[in-house]
Amino acid sequence: MTLIAVARLMAAKDLRVELRSRVVLNQVLPFAAVVMVLFGFALDNDGILPQVAPGLIWLATMFSLLIVVQRAFAVEAADGALDALQVAGVRPAGIFLGKAAALAVQLFVLQIGLVFGSVLLFNSKLHPGGLVLLLVTLVAATLGMTFVGTIYGGLAAGATGRETLLPLLLLPVVAPVLIGATRATEASLSVGGTSMREGWAWIALLATFATLFGIGGSLAFGSLLEDQ
């Protein structure tokens, strides 16, 4: 099988599992909404909330990422499917790309909900001129987060105490995405004093981050699985 065929097979399987279990819809989306509302309570000030909304969107995304990554690999580990994928000689790079693609789709849907949640809860304003930048930010940052999430999810899958290990490993690494995505989102929503030009500069960082971790993950995922 070609790399793309393996990735499509894995992604289709993961998305079918999600459609059946509806974990993102029934658990992760409500969790992210609760996080947003709690941030709203904590920063209960009309002047501040629209200013900090971009950061809150990405913080909620990052916390949700932990849940979806853990779920994605729990499904593989529950009955030894990850082991079986290795025995079947399925190309590790294909597994990596497929799982990352499925995670990206789930996270992207979640972020659309969070952006609209921000409009409703924090009075964020969507501008026609910033929509393209916002969309590109969502895509680039989501890819970066899911590539890192898949790498560390695979690394922690067989480890003892993986529930606590994953956040420890993952959160520091995705910090640059949090910063870049927040600045680019600020630019797209015209808050925080970040210009559109600066916003596109942050996109370059996000794209570089996603590319590096996409290539690195594809190359290293086989070794990560072997070491389980």
Partner 1 sequence: MEPVVELVEAVAVLGRFPAVAGVSMRVDRGEIVLLRGPNGAGKTTLLRLCAGLLPLERGTGRVLGCDLAGQRQLIRTRVGLLGHNNGLYADLTVRENVRFWGATVGASNEEVAASMATMGLDGRLASVQVGRLSAGQKRRTALACLVARRAELWLLDEPHAGLDAAGRDELDATLHAAVAAGATVMVASHELERAGSLATRVVDVVGGVVALAGPTSEATNLRAADGTEHPAAAGKR
Q: Which residues bind partner 1 (CB under 8 A)?
A: 1, 6, 9, 13, 16-17, 20-21, 75, 78-81, 83-90
Closer residue to partner 1, CB minimum distance, 88 or 120: 88
Closer residue to partner 1, CB minimum distance, 52 or 93: 93
* DSSP conformational letter for 126: -
Residue 156, token pair as written in the block: 């922690």
Q: How far is the CB of 69 from partner 1 (least distance, A)?
A: 17
Closer residue to partner 1, CB minimum distance, 6 or 178: 6
Closer residue to partner 1, CB minimum distance, 17 or 179: 17
Q: How far is the CB of 68 from partner 1 (least distance, A)?
A: 15
| Residue 23 host element (H or E) | helix 23-23
**Could you tell me which of 101, 105, 108 has the C-alpha nearest to residue 218?**
101
Closer residue to partner 1, CB minimum distance, 89 or 193: 89
Q: How far is the CB of 71 from partner 1 (least distance, A)?
A: 11
Residue 134 · residue 188 · CB < 8 Å: yes
How is 185-227 classified by DSSP, letter by letter?
HHHHHT-TT--HHHHHHHHHHHHHHHHHHHHHHHHHHHHHHHT
Q: How far is the CB of 135 from partner 1 (least distance, A)?
A: 31
Q: How far is the CB of 164 from partner 1 (least distance, A)?
A: 23
Closer residue to partner 1, CB minimum distance, 17 or 139: 17
Q: How far is the CB of 93 from partner 1 (least distance, A)?
A: 12
Residue 145 · residue 59 · CB < 8 Å: no
| Residue 5 host element (H or E) | helix 3-21
The residues, ordered by sequence, that sit 6+ positions from 69 with a Cβ below 8 Å of its Cβ are: 103, 149, 150, 152, 153, 166, 170
Place of tokens 């947003």: 36
